[in-house]
Each structure stands twice: as structure tokens, then as C-alpha cells.
Amino acid sequence: MTELLEAPAATQPQTAETVASLAAVTKRYSNGVVALDDLSLELHRGQIVALLGPNGAGKSTAVRLLMGLSSPTSGEARIFGADPRNTAARLRTGVMLQVGRAPEMLRVREHIAIFRGYYPRPMAYADLIKAAGLEGLENRMFGELSGGQKQRVFFALALAGDPDLIFLDEPTVGLDIEARRLMWAQIRSLAARGKTVLLTTHYLDEADALAHRIIVINQGRVVCEGTPAEVKSFGAGVSSAGSAVKIIRCVTTLTVEHLLKMPSVSSVANEDALTVITTAQPEATLREMLALDQDLHSLEVQSPALEDAFLALTKSN
Amino acid sequence: MSAAIITLPTARPSSIGIFSREVRYEFVRALRTRAYSLSVICFPVVFYLFFGILMNRNENFHGISVSTNMLAGYAVFGAIGASLFGIGVGVAGDLSAGWLELKRASPMPPLAYLLAKCCTAMGFATIIVTLLTFMGIFFGGVHINLAEYLRMVALIIVGCIPFACLGLLLALLAPFNAAPGIANMIYLPMSFLGGLWMPIEILPKFLQKLAPIFPTYHLKQLMLGVFNYSGAGRTSTHWLALFAFTVIMLSCAGYAFRRREQNS
């Protein structure tokens, strides 16, 4: 289990070719809504990239452009150096979307046979069944499956062509913990085999556990991009990546103004009785606070969570 | 960035393989979906039994018996049902569930999807016309030779196309939960007014005059032409009408599709 939970950032290859990109893409819908505003991003070979953002941030628009389902108003979307709207360019991609319902009166193996048939070198049927955890379900009608099992079928369809670029939109919705871990392990092994994965998810722990790189978008722009650790510290208001930003929670008599004057303290907030301090040098800050306030209690020191970073980054200005 | 490594696969799976698999599984799926297969087959069969066979009083119109006339009528009725519900309601369902989106994001040739739905409707239409022909021969005193039967099948297969296009337009315009209702609201009046339920000669005069505005009328007249029905009118007119209807439906569907794309 611990092996599965380990963040994969360390194994990340440094020299990676660009597999897919959006270059200065603006997408304006006919009703005037600007979904993407001069947005650029790149996906490199062997990377798992998580695209995060609140609802309506432009995540799905960005993914739809890369899947060739929609055209940019300006700018350019490329996969493998070609236009994704070109069907041939999609022979190396696999897609998992949030689909309510596949045709219910087809068996699991029939659905898989159809999708394997679209690709020149599909994944071996037995491997696919194993990778998606569908053993024993092959002869079931799609309509008879549970929500989690359906999700696994969609995962199998995404992998059917043994693609080099995989789009996964909320892949683990409706899965139980065990199935979710299995899918995580599969996604990691895809990246280990040199596949590129673009993941959109609402589960921040999922992005944290899986992604080599996180791209946070809000209002159609990239607000932050980096490793999960970098994104967390960006969110904590510290721009120097890699510094050990910590969040201190305690009950103290020190005022907000006073705390803000301390070196390395980037933000201070009151949450009920607690004071929440974000600092890049937690040891120094704590030493000073403890010296000044003998009654300080209920002390807690935490690494910033991705969730905090996410909320801070996507807070509408 | 080493662009040289990035190449698209030159080998592509055979289109024929993809198309045939898509058609085969779509047909199997439709057969297993009882709500579709039973109603689409049973309605024309039961209606033909009532109106073509049981209520047959050995009348003749323009040289052919009512049971033969109604064989043509309910064959067309069945083909339209198969097309309108297969494509109209079927595509509307796939659209609303997001399934079509997934298919479109895959390397499937876009035409394979529509062709599979269309061929399935044609398959069902062939089953219906065959069942009706047997009923006509054994219970309705219909005289029909193999060549006539085959001409009927060929006509019914081609005749599915205009109504498949109507179904496509319906799927693009109607929300999924309204699609079956709207399909029926088009299907039933158009069938009655086109003379599919009873010989057109039985309808009031003003309705007879109105009938040529419906594509159902023209397809039925073509079917009646197989049996040398003298009131069938000019074949070329009927073909032209069906062709025009197809073009209009396809253009509207194309327009609706582009609008959908822009707004999605």
C-alpha cells in the first residue's frame, strides 16, 4: 500500500518531448463566454499532468480542444504534431470522459471489441481486462453493471488502443477505495511505460498522489503550474519554490499585525479562536512566537495541503 | 524537444472491419433492446393484421386488393418506425448520455456511427416487410412473386434513408426525454395522412389532396408501383419528392449540428 501512495515525482524523466500542446489558445463561445483566455500548456512524454480548477474554469474546454472535439477561436491545439480534429491524429490517444450511459444492451467484451477495432495496435484483450479490473464481468451487459464497474469499462475503453496519450476526465468518480487504488496504480504504470496522461479531477488528493505536474487554471488562464509541492507553496503565498512552507495553527495573544511583521511570515488569519500563520521558516517563527507568548497553546504545524493552495489560487479576485 | 520521434501511425485498421463491427453490434444491441425491437416490429404486424387482413372486404382500388395495398402501406410504416426511432431516439439518447462525445473523441470514422444506425434500421425494415409478406400470402390472399418481393425490400431499404435523416434532425433538436414523444407526434399523423394505415382512396377527398405533401405518401406510391397499381402516379415525381425531402432534412440537420458545435 505504501508503495502505491508514494508520490512518483522522483522517477520523472527530465528530458521529455512535447506530446500535446495548447499554444496561446483563446476559446470564445458563440454566446460570448470566453472559456479560455490566451492559455498555453504542454504535456511531456511520460508525465502525468493534473488539470485543476473550479467548475467553469475552462478545464473541460481545454481538454475538449486537445481531444479534437472543438476548435480554438484563436491559437493552436496540437497532438503528436498534428491537429487533433484529424481522426488519424487520434490513433494514439485514448479518452475517458464522464459518460452517463453507454449502450446498455452490449456486453462488456463487445464494447471492448469495438474500441480495440479502432486502433492499429490495440492492447491485448486479456491485458486490458486485467488492467481495468474487469475479470469475470466480460459477459455482463453494460446496463447490469454498478457505477464503479461502468467506470472501469470506460477506463478499459480509454486504454483499448494502447495509446500514448490518455485523457482521463474524473476517472475515479464512483469507485470504492480498492478500485481507486487499482486505477491509480494503473495510471502510474502507464506513465512508467512512457505514456502521457492528462487527468482532470475534483479529488485533490488524487492529483497530489498521481501527478508529476499540476496545472491550476481559473477563468480561462493558467494561474499556477508545477510539481504538487511547488503548487502547494505557491498557494501559500511564497514564490520561491521548494522552500519549506508550513502552516502554524495555535491559540495566541499575539496580534495579527505583530505576527505579520515577523520575518518569513507571508500571511496571518484568524479562524475562530485559532490564529493561522503561513511561514517559510517555521522554526524561526515558532521560536519567536513561543518566546513572546508564554500562554500559546493548541499548537499544530502542517505542510500546506493542496486543497489550501487550490482555494487560495482560484479565489476570485 | 525531438520532433522526429513523434510520428503518427501509418498503419490504420481497415475501415471495412470497423464499419462491419459497428453495424453488427448496433444490430445486436437493437435486437436486445426489447423496447425498440418489439414495438418497431409488432406495431406494423398487428396493424396489418387488423386493417389489412381482418377488415379486408375484398375491395379493390386501382386494380389491387386492399390486403396488397396495405402490405405496401404497413411495410412503409414499419420502415419509418425503425428509422425514426432507431436514429431519432437512439442518437438523442447517445447525445444526452455523452456517449456520442466519447465515440467522437475516439479514432472511429465519424460516418461509421451513423451508418451503423442506418443499416440497423434497414435490417429491421427488411424483417418487417418479410413478416408482412408472409402474413399477406398466408392470410390475406396476396399474390406476390419473388421479384416483386425483392423489389419491395430494395425500395424499403432505400426508403429508410429520408426518414433516417428526419430522425437525425429530430435527435439534434429534441431533448432526449422528449424525443420519443415528438417522434410519435411526427410518425403517427404522417403515416395516417400519407395513406399508410388505410388505402388513400378511403380518406376524405381533401385529405387525399393533402397527402402528396408527406414523404410517406410518395414512398407508399413507389411501393404500390411494384404491384402495377394504376393510381400510383409518376415514379419520377415520387423519387424527386423523396430526394428533396432528404436534402432538406440533411441540410437542416447539418445546420443544427453546427449550431450545437458552436455552443458546446
The answer to whether the CB of B92 falls within 8 A of the CB of B166 is no
Q: What is the DSSP string of A4-63?
A: HHS-GGGG--SS--EEEEEEEEEEE-TTS-EEEEEEEEEEETT-EEEEE--TTSSHHHHH
Q: Considering only CA atoms, which of A133, A134, A135, A113 is closest in space to residue A124? A: A113
Instruction: Judge whether A232 lies within some domain.
Output: no
Contacts B94 to A, Cβ<8 Å? 103
Residue B33 is predicted with a pLDDT of 94
Give the pLDDT confidence of A37-82 residue by residue, as tens digits. Answer: 999 999 999 999 999 888 888 888 899 999 998 889 999 999 999 9
Residue percentage of chain A with pLDDT more than 70 = 91
CA angle A214, A216, A222 (to 5 degrees): 115
Residue of A nearest to B7 (CA): A80
Is pLDDT above 80 for A16?
no
Contacts A80 to B, Cβ<8 Å? 6-8
| Confidence tier at A192 by pLDDT (50, 70, 90) | very high
Question: A77 and A18, same structural domain?
Answer: yes
Instruction: Judge whether A231 lies within some domain.
Output: no
| Confidence tier at A191 by pLDDT (50, 70, 90) | very high
Q: Smallest Cβ distance to A114: which of B1, B9, B25?
A: B25
Residue A266, judged by CB atoms within 10 A of its CB (0-12, 13-18, 19+), counts as middle
Give the pLDDT confidence of A233-278 residue by residue, as tens digits. Answer: 776 655 444 456 788 899 998 888 888 888 888 888 888 888 988 8
Quote the domain boundaries for residue A282. Answer: 241-314
Find the CATH number of the domain harbouring A182.
3.40.50.300
Cell reading at A167: 485523457
CB contact under 8 A, A29 and B262: yes
The answer to whether the CB of B49 falls within 8 A of the CB of B136 is no
CA distance B132 to chain A (A): 27
Q: Smallest Cβ distance to B97: which of A18, A69, A101?
A: A101
Q: Considering only CA atoms, which of B209, B177, B218 is closest in space to residue B80? A: B218
Is pLDDT above 90 for A116?
yes
Question: A247 and A222, same structural domain?
Answer: no
CB contact under 8 A, A81 and B22: no
Q: Considering only CA atoms, which of A175, A160, A71 is closest in space to residue A121? A: A160
CB contact under 8 A, A118 and B18: yes
Q: For chain B, which residues lie within 8 Å of any Cβ of chain A, measuring from their own Cβ?
A: 1-3, 5-9, 11-13, 17-18, 21-22, 25, 28-29, 32-33, 93-94, 96-99, 101-102, 104-110, 261-264
| Candidates A30, A33, A91, partner chain B, best to mutate (most B CBs within 10 A) | A91
Distance of CA B155 to the CA centre of its chain: 11
Q: Count how many domains chain A has.
A: 2
Question: A115 and A88, same structural domain?
Answer: yes
CB contact under 8 A, B8 and A91: yes
CB contact under 8 A, A69 and B18: no
Instruction: Judge whether A234 lies within some domain.
Output: no
Residue of B nearest to A65 (CA): B105
Contacts A154 to B, Cβ<8 Å? 102
Residue A7 is predicted with a pLDDT of 43
Domain-ending residue, one of A200, A226, A252: A226
A207 bridge partner residues: none
Q: Considering only CA atoms, which of A147, A144, A158 is closest in space to residue A108? A: A144
| Candidates A31, A95, A105, partner chain B, best to mutate (most B CBs within 10 A) | A105
Question: A154 and A71, same structural domain?
Answer: yes
Question: A205 and A112, same structural domain?
Answer: yes
CB contact under 8 A, A81 and B6: yes
| Residues of chain B where predicted confidence (pLDDT) is lower than 50 | 1-5
CA distance B117 to chain A (A): 12
Question: A205 and A276, same structural domain?
Answer: no
The answer to whether the CB of A41 falls within 8 A of the CB of A215 is yes
Residue percentage of chain A with pLDDT more than 90 = 44
Q: Which residue has the higher pLDDT, A311 or B209?
A: B209
Residue A2 is predicted with a pLDDT of 37
The ipTM is 0.89
Q: What is the mean pLDDT of residues A150-164?
A: 94
The answer to whether the CB of A253 falls within 8 A of the CB of A261 is no
CA distance A153 to chain B (A): 13
Report the distance separating Cα A61 and Cα B78, nearest Å. Answer: 42
Report the distance separating Cα A44 and Cα A246, nearest Å. Answer: 30
Question: A164 and A26, same structural domain?
Answer: yes
Q: Smallest Cβ distance to B99: which of A82, A99, A121?
A: A99
Instruction: Judge whether A233 lies within some domain.
Output: no
| Confidence tier at A10 by pLDDT (50, 70, 90) | very low
CB contact under 8 A, A118 and B106: yes
Contacts A114 to B, Cβ<8 Å? 21-22, 25
| Confidence tier at A31 by pLDDT (50, 70, 90) | confident
Report the distance separating Cα A172 and Cα B201, nearest Å. Answer: 62
Q: Which residue has the higher pLDDT, A232 or A254?
A: A254
| Confidence tier at A163 by pLDDT (50, 70, 90) | very high
Instruction: Judge whether A193 lies within some domain.
Output: yes
Report the distance separating Cα A46 and Cα A192, nearest Å. Answer: 7
The answer to whether the CB of A190 falls within 8 A of the CB of A183 is no
Domain-ending residue, one of A226, A259, A284: A226
| Candidates B5, B8, B18, B37, partner chain A, best to mutate (most A CBs within 10 A) | B8
The answer to whether the CB of B232 falls within 8 A of the CB of B224 is yes
Contacts B6 to A, Cβ<8 Å? 17, 19, 80-81
Question: A138 and A255, same structural domain?
Answer: no
Question: A260 and A221, same structural domain?
Answer: no
CA distances in angstroms from A23 to A40, A67, A86, A201, B100, listed in the order given:
5, 15, 18, 23, 27
Report the distance separating Cα B86 and Cα B167, nearest Å. Answer: 8
Strands, sheet with A34-44, edge to edge from the N-terminal-most edge strand: A34-44, A18-28, A74-79
CB contact under 8 A, A88 and B8: yes
Residue A267 is predicted with a pLDDT of 82
Q: What mean pLDDT, rounded, does chain A reach?
A: 86
Question: Integer distance in angstroms from the first to the last C-alpha of chain A?
Answer: 40
Find the CATH number of the domain harbouring A301.
3.30.70
> Alpha helix locations (H) across chain A?
2-5, 59-66, 108-116, 125-131, 147-159, 177-192, 204-210, 228-235, 256-261, 282-292, 306-314
Domain-ending residue, one of A197, A226, A255: A226
Question: A104 and A187, same structural domain?
Answer: yes
